[in-house]
Structure 1
């Protein structure tokens, strides 16, 4: 269940209440006349099943409450209520399958913004991966993949494509390209420093690396894994399954490929630099394609669910 807190101008309160009453899957409706001060107006509270929330939020936005008042949504971790149980049973579909498009847009907007923290995470992840490829240490590679924040911009591009939001697409693309460019540039300098102090060597890079050699040898399996991971990652975002997103992060070789390219570039190894760059590009494209297709399928399925919900509400 989700909890909605609305601030509505007095003249729009009745319309908002009628909309909530007419939405299957809502309960615990409370109206507090004149309770809001900034902005002034009435406060309307209700609970709604997650699978019915997107349609309700769209209707509230059509009333203009996002501009003249406020719409706040919170997750309810525990609700001991027969009415809540009934509302969830009446709402079509399953809550785990529901997509809150506004929440997805907000989440991807936050995760795809180019910031100092984002640059720090992707740079540190790439430097950790650089140590992993030189030492042929799979544990360091997995750690670097878990630290990397690059799935946020990738999900932002997919979301922007489905929702036709060019500004979100541009913001996500800038974060992705600038993030990897900065991370790889710093990692080149890091590699030169590590070589100067005797911790990195070209012999280590050129040696047989059974644990990490795959990061500069792209093949169709790389693309297949990227597509599967992109679909899983998108589902984890839409269903708020953060644990699944961690699994996605450690299954795709984006950061390790960027790290190997940077280390190879520092030694002038064009073969590994090009192979790692291909691996990186292949994985990024696969994730974006899979994420976009997954969202399109979810959008199509839930549009049919919403249509059935509207028909039930009018009968």
Structure 2
């Protein structure tokens, strides 16, 4: 429920009160005694989803946007007339919980801090995420998401489009792209300092760190996370659900990949940095796309009939741009996903071949088989075939002393390479597991 206070311009009192009477709204009117061009102040309660249509109807009878209008939460309204009004606006859909267009813009603005504060918080978030990734600490990475103020600008962009407010749209886009660029730069600087001051072991392979490796080899399956975050963010904002929780989800799609891109740059891995940056951009655009579509589905439109056609054109244009760029960038992610699948399939096939060969040697047992790819442990270059990225297949064979067999090594090499398009190096390591 909402309680609304509206100042009535001089000469518009009768039209405003007649409009409220037609809506069946119970109201209280007081005279306006200031020297401004207002005749009275009217107070009235309405259901949450009635705020926008009621304010629009008042605007049609002469209450301009410059009029002093306040919308606040109302805990309880004891009025038979209000109960009837509430029944009139009651629905079985999400519309019953929707806030007005005016409240939506206000909340988006409140979630978007001053640019200096936004940038500082985003940089701090990226720095914390960088440390969390290098520590391989999920708890620290989650903490970095909590402090990232990314939800406001992300939702402002979508809201600005559907209500035809170009200033809100431009501000949201500027915040997001500057924040992403600044976050990657901050992560790169901090990662370089950590590496230079030997706060991590010299020669460490960052792709051996789980929290890092899964973000520098991004896959297409991560896109639904961003789409879900954008849709959930808009629904939360429009219905009053806990927006803070959804804000963490949006940050989860953006902050860790930003930090991973900076780490890859500091470690001199440009291809890995490119992969993480592509993931950030795809997620960023995915959040905006999902938010835009969800707002349109919920029925938000500009307040003026003259602006609706313009907003419609902007909506279609924005959707086309977002979808086109996402599709182009997703081609890279799709390549990485396919390459990852190929490498996993090759590893499974190699394991089966090794088990089959060792089954013919009673004393030899397969302990472990790993496939190592270039630059560490993840497929990074989607333009290459999977086997072109494999550096070596390492096979650990256990057995009693004397199990070492040149013929066994040759058989493993031959059988595994028959499944590779390019020749793959095979290393066999014998580990004594018993006494001969």
Residues 61 and 291 of structure 1, relative CA distance in 2, 3 Å threshold: same
Q: Does the 8 Å contact 1:9/1:68 carry over to 2? A: no
Mapped to 2, the partners of 1:105 and 1:146 lie a distance apart of: 23
Mapped to 2, the partners of 1:80 and 1:9 lie a distance apart of: 29
> Does residue 1:10 correspond to 2:10, yes or no?
yes
Report the Cα offset of residue 117 of structure 1: 1.2
Equivalent residue pairs, number: 299
Residues 69 and 101 of structure 1, relative CA distance in 2, 3 Å threshold: closer
Q: Does the 8 Å contact 2:206/2:212 carry over to 1? A: no
Please state whether the residue corresponding to 2:76 is helix, strand or coil. coil
> Does residue 1:173 correspond to 2:173, yes or no?
yes
2:124 alignment counterpart: 124
Q: Does the 8 Å contact 2:225/2:253 carry over to 1? A: no
Q: Does the 8 Å contact 1:113/1:175 carry over to 2? A: no
1:306 alignment counterpart: none
1:234 alignment counterpart: 234
Q: Does the 8 Å contact 2:233/2:247 carry over to 1? A: yes
Please state whether the residue corresponding to 2:156 is helix, strand or coil. helix
Report the Cα offset of residue 269 of structure 1: 1.5
Q: Does the 8 Å contact 1:51/1:93 carry over to 2? A: no
> Does residue 1:274 correspond to 2:274, yes or no?
yes
Residues 207-241 of structure 1 deviation map (CA, whole Å, 9 limit, x = unaligned): 42334532223222211121112111110011121
1:249 alignment counterpart: 248
Structure number with larger C-alpha Rg = 2
Unaligned runs of 5+ in 1: 304-315
2:213 alignment counterpart: 213
1:51 alignment counterpart: 49
Residues 277 and 239 of structure 1, relative CA distance in 2, 3 Å threshold: same
Residues 95-116 of structure 1 deviation map (CA, whole Å, 9 limit, x = unaligned): 6532411221232244346511
1:152 alignment counterpart: 152
Please state whether the residue corresponding to 1:46 is helix, strand or coil. strand
Q: TM-score, normalised by structure 2?
A: 0.63
> Does residue 1:291 correspond to 2:291, yes or no?
yes
1:198 alignment counterpart: 198
Mapped to 1, the partners of 2:201 and 2:86 lie a distance apart of: 61
Residues 209 and 196 of structure 1, relative CA distance in 2, 3 Å threshold: closer
Q: Does the 8 Å contact 2:212/2:260 carry over to 1? A: no
Q: Does the 8 Å contact 1:217/1:279 carry over to 2? A: no
Q: TM-score, normalised by structure 1?
A: 0.85
Q: Does the 8 Å contact 1:32/1:42 carry over to 2? A: yes
Please state whether the residue corresponding to 2:126 is helix, strand or coil. helix
Please state whether the residue corresponding to 1:7 is helix, strand or coil. strand
Structure showing the higher helix proportion among its residues: 1
Matches within 5 A, 1:50-129: 50-93=48-91, 96-112=96-112, 115-129=115-129
Residues 148 and 291 of structure 1, relative CA distance in 2, 3 Å threshold: same
Mapped to 1, the partners of 2:285 and 2:192 lie a distance apart of: 30
- After superposition, the CA RMSD in angstroms is 2.6
Please state whether the residue corresponding to 1:65 is helix, strand or coil. coil
Residues 108-167 of structure 1 deviation map (CA, whole Å, 9 limit, x = unaligned): 244346511111211111111111111111111111122211121111121122223322
Mapped to 1, the partners of 2:205 and 2:171 lie a distance apart of: 35
